Structure 1
């Protein structure tokens, strides 16, 4: 079982000091993909970084600006990925502050889907400074942030490590309230599992997801996250072994306790596992792996 953490105390539009170097303002955009809303983080004092400015809501822009102390200025706007609950406010915030936008541009694999599995995408997202690949270090007075490449949820997902607190702003890569959606073609299960191990190896003291409260028991949480994915993979393999050839036929079996209206989204998740299993030689199909493919155990 994943040891979810869902208790969070906040008021919309109010800035809370959540650690010595971190302030948080939560946007009023609660929903099935955003939990209680987008948590925008302000890092440092004097010259500050803003992480995941959030949806393009004028009231949230004003709340971020109001959270700045007299004389403070935003020098860096950091975006974990291009989904519409994370990146759209970057442009209005830049217009107000003059700060550069940092992140990884939308990849060629990203595309609109007729099946809603996320809060929507900001396909116009274009950072001023590219952090694709990770490893770049951004600094301000008293704070140091490192870009950590974590593809999987999206191809352009970046987390940000705060050196001074051994903390990671984990975006949607790891969330305390829910598992992460992996939807091909932009989402990639192989990349995601590798990214989980990369974060685990860093031995962070705390994770600050964009949605929900911090995760403080980091290693056990990541291990439970990975175990959940492996368990779902085992279920998919078992279904194929029992003669279920098509994803549309597997989903009612694998997600029997899930509202059937969510089965189309679940099928996208199963496709993510299938693509990974085909790559690893555990499952075979004729042609590229797709929702409509017929699958069999590899011999």
Structure 2
């Protein structure tokens, strides 16, 4: 089982010093996809980076600016991905501070659907400086951040490693309170599993997700996260072998312990597994795999 970490103490709009180099301000946008809300991180002293400014809430913008000490300035705005609980405030924050926006532009447009699987998408997100592919080093006064490409949750997801604390700002790639939604075509299960291994190999001491508290027992947590996905894949494959070839038939059974409001998103994650299983030749379907396709065992 995943050793979830969900205990977090905070006040909306307040600035908490959570490590020697990291401050956090949480936006008032709680919900089934955001937990207690978006945690915006301020890194450094004097010259600071802001990670995931969050939703376009004027009160949150003012809270971020109020968290700055006299004489401090924002030199970098870093965005993990383009969902509406992460990136929309980047523009207003840039307008107030003059800091450039770093991230990866939207690459794959989500298909039209009446099913809500996330907090929404900021499809117009377009950073000033592209970090697609990862590996770029961003430096400020007393801090060094490396961009780490982690596609899977979205095609443009970037995590940010803080060298001085061997910490990773993991966005929605790894969260302590919940598993991550994988919604094709922008989300990709094959990419996601590879990205998990990439993070694990780095040996970080702590993960700071955008939602919820930090993850401090990193390697066991990532291993449990990956094992959960593999177990879910095995359940999906078994369901197909048992003759349940429709995703809509599987979700209420496979996700019986999950908030029903998240079942539509869960169906998209099952589709992510199906696409991966079709790629690997374990499941077949007529035509391209889709949410309404009929699946059957290969062979």
- Short-chain TM bin: over 0.9
User: What are structure 1's unaligned runs of at least 5 residues?
Assistant: none
Q: Which residue of 1 aligns with 2:163?
A: 163
Q: Which residue of 1 aligns with 2:61?
A: 61
Contact 2:181-2:265 within 8 A present in 1 as well: no
Instruction: Report Cα offsets for 1:41-72 as digits up to 9, x if no partner.
Output: 00011111000000011111011111111111
Q: Distance in 2 between matches of 1:292 and 1:179?
A: 24
SS at the partner of 1:42? strand
Residues 1:144 and 2:148 are matched in the alignment: no
Contact 2:3-2:224 within 8 A present in 1 as well: yes
Q: Distance in 2 between matches of 1:97 and 1:84?
A: 21
Q: Which residue of 2 aligns with 1:31?
A: 31
Q: Distance in 1 between matches of 2:134 and 2:77?
A: 16
Q: Which residue of 2 aligns with 1:52?
A: 52
Q: Distance in 2 between matches of 1:162 and 1:258?
A: 33
Q: Distance in 1 between matches of 2:111 and 2:250?
A: 25
Q: Distance in 1 between matches of 2:81 and 2:199?
A: 17
Q: Cα 1:259–1:92, aligned 2, differ >3 Å: closer, same or farther?
A: closer
Q: Distance in 1 between matches of 2:257 and 2:15?
A: 39
Q: Following TM superposition, by how much is the alpha carbon of 1:245 offset from its aligned partner in structure 2, in angstroms?
A: 1.8
Q: Following TM superposition, by how much is the alpha carbon of 1:112 offset from its aligned partner in structure 2, in angstroms?
A: 4.5
Q: Which residue of 1 aligns with 2:9?
A: 9
Q: Which residue of 2 aligns with 1:206?
A: 206
Q: Which residue of 2 aligns with 1:180?
A: 180
Number of residue-to-residue matches in the alignment: 299
Q: Distance in 1 between matches of 2:204 and 2:219?
A: 8
Q: Distance in 1 between matches of 2:171 and 2:265?
A: 21
Q: Distance in 2 between matches of 1:261 and 1:211?
A: 18
SS at the partner of 2:230? helix
Q: Cα 1:180–1:261, aligned 2, differ >3 Å: closer, same or farther?
A: closer
Contact 2:31-2:37 within 8 A present in 1 as well: yes
Q: Which residue of 2 aligns with 1:135?
A: 135
Q: Which residue of 2 aligns with 1:230?
A: 230
| TM-score where L is the length of structure 2 | 0.97
Instruction: Report Cα offsets for 1:1-21 as digits up to 9, x if no partner.
Output: 110111111111111111111
Q: Distance in 2 between matches of 1:104 and 1:112?
A: 22
Q: Following TM superposition, by how much is the alpha carbon of 1:267 offset from its aligned partner in structure 2, in angstroms?
A: 1.6
Residues 1:191 and 2:191 are matched in the alignment: yes
State the Cα RMSD in Å. Answer: 1.2
Contact 1:109-1:155 within 8 A present in 2 as well: no
Q: Following TM superposition, by how much is the alpha carbon of 1:128 offset from its aligned partner in structure 2, in angstroms?
A: 0.3
